[in-house]
Amino acid sequence: MTKHANTNAPNTEKGVYDVIILGAGASGLMCSATAAYQGLNVLVLDHAPKAAAKIRISGGGKCNFTNVNVTPEHFICQNPHFVKSALSRYPSTAFVELVERHGLAYEIRGGGKYFCAERASDLIQILRTECDWAGVQFQLNTQVKSVQYRGGEYFLNTSQGNFKAVKLVVATGALSFPKLKATGIGYDIAKQFGLNIVKTSPGLVPLTFSDKWQVRFSELSGLSMPVSVQVNGHAFTEAMLFTHKGLSGPAILQASNYWQQGQPIVLNTLPEYTEPQVFEALLALKKSGKSLPKWLNQVWPKRFTQIWLEAYPMDSVLSNITHEALQAYAKQLTHWQLFPANTAGYDKAEVTLGGVDTDAVSSKTFECKTQKNLFFIGEVLDVTGHLGGFNFQWAWASAVACGMAL
Ligand SMILES: Cc1cc2nc3c(=O)[nH]c(=O)nc-3n(C[C@H](O)[C@H](O)[C@H](O)COP(=O)(O)OP(=O)(O)OC[C@H]3O[C@@H](n4cnc5c(N)ncnc54)[C@H](O)[C@@H]3O)c2cc1C
């Protein structure tokens, strides 16, 4: 975004705007500044007392705001082509340029993840500054009672009076983290105008267990170890965290996007090794006469070794173990099959899978194909990114594409 004077004559009647953007989150702020820089009279309306609550708490308070390597393959959407246009027109380098112009200190962590060096609120301040420069108006703490379309205009009846605009952008996010004011209003508006909603479910979410493993994982709560997790043909190698109710950490959150109830997840507890390599390592242990638990303690946290050997008794010294048994050990260590009972739900989910069907929305302008001047951007759409800054990059890219088209 570059700052320039508004040239169009803005709509100045009280409560009347060129564009109302519903939702002052990541995509709403970005879209409003982009649109206001085009000279449009823009109102951002939100029921929360403050803008961008999710940015504030994201990335452990440092907001993983984008990624070096953003490709369409990092996104889940019924139409895998939908994300391509916006992502290519507003790449992560464009957002990095924006924050650099504002002097944001950032760091790039493993996997190309950009984080604020200090605090996520610095990023909110940048977006608010852009909105101020562009002349965006805000109406926070405002409950929307109804949305109507009459005579080519959108009328919003709210707890703070009536507002109308020619164009309405729905940037209300999705269902995750209701304590941060997440609601399904975006889906309700979509349905009101005849759009289809792709079934929603919690994404990037811890997995819970109800069998014997829940007790064992609870004993390990707080412990983290690297694993490779496979689910439904997708594999992720990252850290896994044990919790009181089951499993979390980046590897599990990534896997949760692809997991469905009743299905197993398969863990390689020695992600540096393949099954044949583990077999070779066990064979070498057998020959040397060294202890298996001692070796496991070198590659795993000790508390995990203890729990594992309680669950899967294995001989300490492998001298008398047959090759077949060693092969079975290698398989168990690299293909540990677990059946989660459920996810931890929307309360703990970073994102929501599913949403407004992208078939009904232009991938270039984000306008509804069947309803003039109604736009959907950000997470309310059926677009979900992997963990790593991809969800914010989608918010920025869809917002800019829409804002430019308004
Ligand atoms: C704990 C957590 C950590 C995360 N960390 C990261 C991360 O590090 N990197 C990353 O890429 N993604 C992260 N995400 C995901 C990311 O926050 C979202 O994908 C992103 O914020 C979506 O942007 P959005 O503008 O579509 O929606 P939001 O940012 O959720 O904004 C929606 C706005 O709409 C408003 N709204 C909702 N309902 C109503 C209503 N009824 N009336 C009026 N206003 C309403 C809300 O108050 C909110 O301000 C995280 C999410 C969570 C929950």
pLDDT tens-place string over residues 119-154: 999 999 999 999 999 999 999 999 999 999 999 999
Residue 4's pLDDT is what?
Answer: 40
Closest C-alpha to ligand 1, atom 29: 25
At position 168, the amino acid (one-letter code) is L
Name the residue of 57, 391, 402 to mutate for ligand 1: max ligand atoms within 8 A of Cβ: 391
Strands (E), 232-298: 234-242, 246-248, 265-268
CA distance 398 to 374: 14
Please name the residue that has the structure tokens 């994102």: 351
How much distance in Å is there from the Cα of 173 to the middle of ligand 1? Answer: 5
The angle at the Cα of 388, spanning 105 to 2, to the nearest 5 degrees, equals: 50
Please name the residue that has the structure tokens 């795993």: 300
Pick the CATH number of 16-202+349-405 from 3.40.640.10, 3.50.50.60, 3.40.50.150, 3.30.70.1170: 3.50.50.60
CA distance 178 to 176: 6
CB distance 206 to 221 below 8 Å: no
Structure tokens at 317: 């010294």
Residue 11's pLDDT is what?
Answer: 55
Ligand 1 shell residues, CB under 6 Å: 22-28, 46-48, 53-54, 57-59, 63-64, 144, 171-173, 176-177, 181-183, 185, 350-351, 378-380, 389-392, 395
How much distance in Å is there from the Cα of 42 to the middle of ligand 1? Answer: 20
| CATH 2.40.30.10 segments of the chain | 206-344
How many percent of the chain have pLDDT more than 90? 94
Short-list 46, 31, 35, 32, CA closest to 6: 35
The 10 Å Cβ neighbour count of residue 312 is 12
What is residue 102's three-state secondary structure?
Answer: coil
Confidence category of residue 294, pLDDT binned at 50, 70, 90: very high
Structure tokens at 205: 């979410």
Is pLDDT above 90 for 10?
A: no
Q: Which residues contact 195 (CB under 8 A, 6 or more apart)?
A: 356, 357, 360, 368, 370, 371
Residue 13's pLDDT is what?
Answer: 57
Query: Which secondary structure element, helix H or strand E, spans residue 114, and what is its range?
Result: strand 113-116
Name the residue of 57, 108, 172 to mutate for ligand 1: max ligand atoms within 8 A of Cβ: 172
Confidence category of residue 6, pLDDT binned at 50, 70, 90: very low
Is pLDDT above 80 for 293?
A: yes
Is pLDDT above 60 for 393?
A: yes
Give the number of the atom of ligand 1 that is nearest the alpha carbon of residue 182: 37
Residue that wins the pLDDT comparison between 294 and 1 = 294
Is pLDDT above 90 for 284?
A: yes
Out of 8-22, 50-64, 109-123, least confident range:
8-22
Name the residue of 54, 124, 393, 398 to mutate for ligand 1: max ligand atoms within 8 A of Cβ: 54
CA distance 378 to 94: 17
Strands (E), 151-279: 153-158, 161-170, 197-203, 207-208, 224-231, 234-242, 246-248, 265-268
Give the number of the atom of ligand 1 that is nearest the alpha carbon of residue 399: 25
Closest C-alpha to ligand 1, atom 17: 54
Residue 61's pLDDT is what?
Answer: 97
Out of 77-86, 285-294, 390-399, least confident range:
285-294
Residue 130's pLDDT is what?
Answer: 98
Give the number of the atom of ligand 1 that is nearest the alpha carbon of residue 390: 11
pTM here is 0.95
Tell me the torsion sign for CA atoms 376, 380, 382, 385.
positive
Residue 196 half-sphere exposure toward CB, CA atoms < 13 A: 9
pLDDT tens-digit map of 49-99 = 999 999 999 999 999 999 999 999 999 999 999 999 999 999 999 999 999
Arithmetic mean of pLDDT, 164-192: 97
Arithmetic mean of pLDDT over the chain: 95
Tell me the torsion sign for CA atoms 323, 325, 329, 335.
positive
**Helix count (H) and strand count (E) of the chain?**
13, 21
Is pLDDT above 50 for 108?
A: yes
Give the number of the atom of ligand 1 that is nearest the alpha carbon of residue 186: 38
Give the number of the atom of ligand 1 that is nearest the alpha carbon of residue 385: 11
At position 248, the amino acid (one-letter code) is S
Q: Is the domain defined by 206-344 classed in CATH 3.40.50.920?
A: no
Residue 303's pLDDT is what?
Answer: 96
Arithmetic mean of pLDDT, 289-310: 95
Arithmetic mean of pLDDT, 307-321: 92
How much distance in Å is there from the Cα of 12 to the middle of ligand 1? Answer: 30
Residue 48's pLDDT is what?
Answer: 98
Is pLDDT above 80 for 300?
A: yes
pLDDT tens-digit map of 347-363 = 999 999 999 999 999 99
**Sheet of 207-208, strand order:** 336-338, 265-268, 224-231, 234-242, 246-248, 207-208, 342-343
Confidence category of residue 9, pLDDT binned at 50, 70, 90: very low
Residue 14's pLDDT is what?
Answer: 65
